[in-house]
A and B are shown apart, each in its own frame.
Chain A
Amino acid sequence: MFYSMQPDKALRFGDVLQGYPSTTPRIEEPILNGNSTKYKIDVDLPKFTVVMDPSCEIRNQTISLTPLIQVSRRFFDNPYFAEDLTRINREMEPQQALSALAWSKLDLKEQQNRLNVGRTYALLNLFIYEEHALFPKYTIRRKGEVDIETSYSMINFRNTYKLCCGKIESPEKSPLKSKILQLSPETRAELTNKLIKYYARIHLEDKALEG
């Protein structure tokens, strides 16, 4: 079960919320001279956002959120993903991370390198939210292929931002009317594990040190 059948009367990590704007500051270059106004802030009101704070960090009128966005149409090029997009949330074999066609185009050395990596995650910055009647359906158009109607959604860890809301005092003392869905404990554990892996991977600069 992807979503909890009995949501808590409190905000939880991974919850789907509505009614919270998202913001993205934009600059051309770092502002190093005091009072420059050379920046813009894009404000958007996504239909749904997802809580990215552990419960205990939801306090003092502050919460971390990320918008729930549409999935990439290219996920459906891989039959293993197309069958169940939430497979992207879990570890997989190297061949499952690519379509059979893409795998066959790799040379033998590259295939062997990938096989040596073994079972692990792909698309580390993404987490798929299973289809739900509360999510609006949208159409994915593919060249030379049948269109797909879906309500699968996803979050990109890189889109996380901070929001201040005067009504958010604690997980329990928050506007619970804005809470739409809660992940089941198993799914929340998957989200936690993937987020941990996202931050725990070896950084490129450290790979260089490995020699």
Chain B
Amino acid sequence: MNICERRWLKLFNSKDALDYDKLRSRGTGAHEAPANYKIIVYPFDKYLIKIMLSPDDRFIGIVEINVNKDFLSYQQKATPKGSHDVEEYYRE
């Protein structure tokens, strides 16, 4: 039995080797978020910053920074165009 086979056998025999939930939480790109932390999203300029806080809201660290794709301003979202200002021409 070579070294690789021995490692596989050890892993296979260990109690948590086939624990699906643990395996899933360690998947590529996943961020482990234990229940005693919370993560909030804070919009800053054109970025969305995911921040990890303790249950009593103390800063722990930055988890992730993304570009905010919802980049339209309120005015842009409200309406792309105004309306024709003609009311005075139709007043009785």
Shortest distance in angstroms between B71's beta carbon and chain A's nearest beta carbon?
Answer: 16
Chain B residue contacts of A97, Cβ below 8 A = 84, 86
Bound-complex Cα distance A102 to B85 (A): 13
Please determine whether B89 and A197 come into contact, CB atoms closer than 8 angstroms. Answer: no
Residues of A within 8 A of B (CB): 72-75, 77, 92, 94, 97-99, 102, 114, 117-124, 197, 200-202, 206-207, 209-210
Chain A residue contacts of B83, Cβ below 8 A = 117, 120-122, 124, 197, 201
Please determine whether A123 and B79 come into contact, CB atoms closer than 8 angstroms. Answer: no
| Interface size band for B | 10 to 19
| Cβ of B87 under 8 Å from chain A | yes
Please determine whether B92 and A74 come into contact, CB atoms closer than 8 angstroms. Answer: yes
Please determine whether B78 and A201 come into contact, CB atoms closer than 8 angstroms. Answer: yes
* A75-B90 in contact given A92-B84, A114-B84 (Cβ < 8 Å): yes
Closest residue of B by beta carbon distance from A119: B81
Within 8 A of A (CB), among B52-92: 74-75, 78-79, 81-87, 89-92
Please determine whether B79 and A200 come into contact, CB atoms closer than 8 angstroms. Answer: yes
Please determine whether A122 and B86 come into contact, CB atoms closer than 8 angstroms. Answer: yes
Shortest distance in angstroms between A82's beta carbon and chain B's nearest beta carbon?
Answer: 12
Shortest distance in angstroms between B70's beta carbon and chain A's nearest beta carbon?
Answer: 17
Chain B residue contacts of A74, Cβ below 8 A = 89-92
Chain A residue contacts of B75, Cβ below 8 A = 202, 206-207, 209-210
Bound-complex Cα distance A114 to B86 (A): 10
Bound-complex Cα distance A41 to B74 (A): 38
Chain A residue contacts of B84, Cβ below 8 A = 92, 94, 97-98, 114, 117, 120-122
Closest residue of B by beta carbon distance from A88: B90
Please determine whether A123 and B81 come into contact, CB atoms closer than 8 angstroms. Answer: no
* A123-B74 in contact given A74-B92, A197-B79, A201-B79 (Cβ < 8 Å): no
Chain B residue contacts of A77, Cβ below 8 A = 89-90
Closest residue of A by beta carbon distance from B89: A102
Closest residue of B by beta carbon distance from A126: B90
Contact of A202 among B79, B91, B92 (CB under 8 A): B79
16 more A-B residue pairs beyond the given contacts A74-B89, A201-B83, A202-B79, with a C-beta to C-beta distance below 8 A = A72-B92, A74-B91, A92-B84, A97-B84, A99-B89, A114-B84, A117-B82, A117-B84, A119-B81, A122-B84, A123-B86, A200-B79, A201-B78, A201-B79, A202-B75, A206-B78
